[in-house]
Amino acid sequence: DAGVIQSPRHEVTEMGQEVTLRCKPISGHNSLFWYRQTMMRGLELLIYFNNNVPIDDSGMPEDRFSAKMPNASFSTLKIQPSEPRDSAVYFCASTLRGGTDTQYFGPGTRLTVL
Amino acid sequence: GNSVTQMEGPVTLSEEAFLTINCTYTATGYPSLFWYVQYPGEGLQLLLKATKADDKGSNKGFEATYRKETTSFHLEKGSVQVSDSAVYFCALTYNTDKLIFGTGTRLQVFP
């Protein structure tokens, strides 16, 4: 299995630009999670989906962030407009059923907003 | 609310030394407990887990025992290797799909 796939691996953009991060979960997995990791705040859960439906988006920082999961094999996290404080590594993870099932993480997207 | 507290890092050890990374939790019930590891430049991966009290999770020479009495899930390894250098995260889940992570502990092993 290819594992969780994220693209791009690195993104450098200027403040005010729109950024779209992409994730392909492991085939057959029903739950998908978006995390953000920074030195200051550690690992934060932004949003998660079960069966393509957003369940909990309480971690989304503000209206500039949005996430979609149009089908079982694809999800996007969009930041519009981006700000320097959004610079972080963004991880996508998927699990078979959620709960105590293992979360499989992608390699992450390192975002730098100048 | 539910939370996880890990010891501050970095933990610096020589190869073949004994490792302990402390983790304690606060939860309203009996959560499932996990250790995830993050190697440089990679995403997190599950190292081991325990889903009920007194369970011992083990993998790659690492062990952790779910201690209900002390609300702890300390990670141990008898003899660390340079390749174990990474960041280790303790986490819990309880009646939800969400994992609650600790702040992570960086382990550095020198030859």
Q: Do A42 and B32 touch (CB under 8 A)?
A: no
In the stretch 27-86 of chain A, residues with CB closer than 8 A to chain B read 31, 42-43, 45, 48, 50, 55-56
B12-21, B60-69, B76-85, B92-101, range with the lowest pLDDT: B92-101
Q: Which of A24, A30, A37, A100 to mutate to test the interface with B (most CBs of B within 10 A)?
A: A100
Average pLDDT over every residue of A97-108: 88
CA distance B48 to B62: 8
CB B60 within 8 A of CB B75: no
Query: Does A89 have pLDDT greater than 90?
Result: yes
Identify the pLDDT of residue A62. 84
**Residue in A43, A50, A105 nearest the CB of B97:** A50
Instruction: Tell me, rounded to whole angstroms, the distance of Cα B4 from its chain centroid.
Output: 10
Q: What is the pLDDT of residues B27-56, one digit of tens each?
A: 988 899 999 999 998 999 999 999 999 999
Q: Is A5 on the interface with B (CB under 8 A)?
A: no
Question: Greatest CA span in chain B, whole angstroms?
Answer: 43
Q: Which residues of B touch A55 (CB under 8 A)?
A: 97
Place B94 in a pLDDT band, splitting at 50, 70 and 90: confident
Least trusted range by pLDDT, from B6-15, B64-73, B93-102? B93-102
User: What pLDDT band is residue B107 in, cutting at 50, 70 and 90?
Assistant: very high
Q: Does B98 touch chain A (CB under 8 A)?
A: yes
pLDDT(A55) > 80: yes
Nearest CA in chain A to B87: A42
Q: Cα separation of A82 and A28, whole Å?
A: 32
The pLDDT mean for chain A works out to: 94
SS3 B42: coil
